[in-house]
A and B are shown apart, each in its own frame.
Chain A
Amino acid sequence: MAADGGVARQAELRRIEGNACFYKARFGAAIDCYTEAIALCPDVAVYWMNRGLCHFRRKDWAKVEEDSRKALALDDTLVKGHYMLGCALLRKEECALAIKELEKALDLLKSSNSRDKMAEDIWEVLAKAKYLDWEKHSTQRVWKIQNLKEACENALQEHHFLSGTLTEDSVGPTNEYSEQRKLLSEVFTNAILADTPGDVPDYLCCQITFEIFRDPVITPSGVTYERAILLEHLRKVGNFDPVTREPLKEHQLVPNLAIKEAVQAYLKEHSWAYRSN
């Protein structure tokens, strides 16, 4: 027992030393300290985490992945661990896996109830991952649908050719072939509609930022805003509702859960909307 306590204390001293180096941005030295701490006590998640953070700052992604996996194996509730692993996976373009880690990080952060800059960072990477994931899949989807469209058009033409109704330039009132071709083209346009980037509907966007909502709050006037920007408005511009100019205080704001769900449903179908400028 006594020996164990001594080892643990020594490892802890290494960690403190490592932290000091880390804050001076001497990441190489910090890595050495944490490596020693790990050698002494390999079961302490924080040592792996901190070393991972050093690699993170040095953008050494393979090592970030390695250390954050070790840390998470010891403690699955480390927000930063999931965040770092998510970033490392995104580098490897393993979008789906990255999204899983980043969402886990956000969930953990939400339950810990701390509203710091971390949530912003995680969300930004998550949005990037979702967008990349969409880009990858949508290209494939659109390509497949395009091929199917061509095949269908050819089949339709062949069908009409064989049944002798292929009268493309006829002006008769019921030109079945050209009508069917038009309809077919419409069907396929609709099939890729959700994968076609466009404008997010106004009702899902904040009237101050013009961006899609993330944390919508509703005022007593019934207008919904993005929470962060509205708080900034109350702090910097004045205590009034920006659209109606009714008096407004922070405690009157209520989360608009319905809009939040609508945004989530919209993003699920239109992942291109994750793109930020």
Chain B
Amino acid sequence: MVASNPTRIEEAKSRLLWPSLRLLPSLPQEPKRTMTSSSTASRKALSKIACNRLQKELAEWQVGPPAGFKYKVSDNLQRWVIEVGGAAGTLYAGETYQLQVDFPEHYPMEAPQVIFLNPAPMHPHIYSNGHICLDILYDSWSPAMTVSSVCISILSMLSSSPAKQRPQDNDRYVRNCRNGRSPKETRWWFHDDKV
């Protein structure tokens, strides 16, 4: 359903505002003491709607996965690990990375948490702890998006990278994210990236 639906893919592409706009994390001044709150929340069992939908997404993925991605088989429907191959002709050609996708109880009403597992690709929008600065994963999520469309967006973000480098504020951000804070807790905001 996903791969054969051009509207949905176009949609995913059009959400990709790179490189004119980018998101920057706004860091809370005081790191919260109860940082595990979101990770426990994300471990809450999937709702019936979420479960049904993920089973169907997985079945469709197995029939036709998006090009360049490989689902690593597991019996955990709530956490998918996906292998991404850098597209030919881009800075990441021949390289392989791993995405970890965690689904909240009320998926798809809430966005999944998507991070790169160590080592994360060097990219101006990807922090060294694997957090990805991409609006559709946070404020611009829509329940009509799927794991598949999210993957396509991420690959497209990788492919259009002009240089293998970390975001400018990488060290400061990663320092503030210790204790395994979820990127969904970060208040990302749009920032003009022309400079």
Contacts and interface: CB of A to CB of B under 8 A. Distances in A.
Nearest to A202: B1
Interface string B1-12: 100110110010
A191 B55 CA distance: 30
A126 B37 CA distance: 40
Nearest to A228: B49
12 contacts: A202-B1, A207-B8, A207-B144, A209-B53, A210-B1, A210-B53, A211-B56, A229-B143, A233-B109, A243-B11, A277-B52, A277-B55
B144 A209 contact: no
Interface string A200-239: 0010010111110000000000000000010011001100
A208 B143 contact: yes
A245 B57 contact: no
A243 B51 contact: no
B57 A210 contact: yes
A242 interface: yes
A276 interface: yes
Nearest to A242: B144
B141 interface: yes
B44 to A, nearest CB: 16
Nearest to A211: B52
A244 B7 CA distance: 8
B130 interface: no
B108 interface: yes
Contacts of A232: 109
Most buried by B among A208, A229, A276: A208
B38 to A, nearest CB: 17
B142 interface: yes
Contacts of A277: 48, 51-52, 55
Nearest to B8: A243
Interface of B: 1, 4-5, 7-8, 11, 48-49, 51-53, 55-57, 106, 108-109, 141-144
Most buried by B among A207, A208, A232: A207
Contacts of A244: 11
A209 B142 contact: no
A208 B55 CA distance: 13
Contact of A208 (B5, B48, B51, B144): B144
Contacts of A236: 106, 109
Q: Is the interface of A mostly helix, strand, loop or mixed?
A: loop
Interface of A: 202, 205, 207-211, 229, 232-233, 236-237, 240, 242-245, 276-277
Contacts of B11: 243-245
Contact of B52 (A207, A237, A245, A276): A276
A107 to B, nearest CB: 26
Nearest to B139: A238
B12 to A, nearest CB: 11
A242 B7 CA distance: 12
Nearest to B15: A245
The 3 closest A-B pairs by CB, nearest first: A242-B144, A210-B56, A243-B144
Most buried by A among B5, B11, B56: B56
Contacts of A202: 1, 4-5
B109 to A, nearest CB: 5
A202 B1 CA distance: 6
A240 B8 CA distance: 15
Contacts of B51: 277
Given A237-B141, A243-B142, A243-B144, A205 B1 contact: yes
B52 A210 contact: yes
Given A233-B143, A277-B51, 18 more contacts: A202-B1, A202-B4, A207-B8, A207-B144, A208-B53, A208-B108, A210-B56, A229-B49, A233-B109, A237-B141, A237-B143, A240-B142, A242-B144, A243-B7, A243-B142, A244-B11, A276-B52, A277-B55
Nearest to A232: B109
Contact of A237 (B7, B48, B56, B142): B142
B180 to A, nearest CB: 26
A205 B1 CA distance: 10
Contacts of A243: 7-8, 11, 142, 144
A209 B8 contact: no
